[in-house]
Amino acid sequence: MTPDAAGRDPSSFAGPAEPGPRGRDGGGARRTTQRAAVLAALHDADGFRTAQELHDVLRAAGERVGLTTVYRSLQLLSDTGEVDVLLNDAGEAMYRRCERRGHHHHLVCRSCKKSVEIESGEVERWTERAAGEHGFSAVTHTMEVFGLCTTCSPA
């Protein structure tokens, strides 16, 4: 399966995208055309995309990139925090290049997958407090908001 879709937290449950960058860069990250292509495709999309969708786009655009590489690049990018990941209903990972660097959430269109980055100290504070009241520590959370964007909204 997916040992860790987000590239962290070896335990069973999901955790949010924690900012804690590991020592990283043990070796040198090379600049390859494939990796650049993936990032570019990701940049063109204004919504979340699955690895396979990105692969299709790349192939359609004439790029010679293997599906395996797309997966690896996305994994890498999400590890370094350059792209955000979220699991859809089917449990499939979807990626998106985000503007904000720190912790934030998303408002995603159920139809076109377009998304807006949102932030909420309110929610952050609430989760901390709620967890604390129950004696839980090392608190993290996940949260995604779905809906229909203006263009996809009926009538």
Binding site for DNA (CB under 7 A): 1-3, 5, 19, 23, 26-35, 50-52, 64-69, 71-73, 75, 90-93
Estimate the crossing angle of helix 67-79 against helix 51-60, to 10 degrees: 120
Q: Tell me the one-letter amino acid at 146.
A: F
| Nearer to DNA (CB atom), residue 67 or residue 131 | 67
| Among positions 20, 26, 27, 135, the unique one binding its own copies when judged by CB under 8 A | 135
25 binds its own copies per the rule CB under 8 A: no
Token representation of residue 63: 């790029």
State the Cα angle at 144 between 139 and 149, rounded to 5°.
160
| Nearer to DNA (CB atom), residue 33 or residue 120 | 33
Among DNA, Zn ion, its own copies, none, residue 32 binds (CB under 5-8 Å by kind): DNA
| Nearer to DNA (CB atom), residue 10 or residue 28 | 28
Token representation of residue 74: 């996305």
| Nearer to its own copies (CB atom), residue 79 or residue 144 | 144
The least CB distance from residue 149 to DNA, in Å, is 23
CA-to-CA separations, 134 to 11, 126, 138, 153, in angstroms, rounded: 21, 13, 12, 40
Q: Taking a C-beta distance cutoff of 8 angstroms, is the pair 148, 111 a contact?
A: yes
Residues that bind Zn ion (CB under 5 A): 109, 111-112, 114, 124, 149, 152
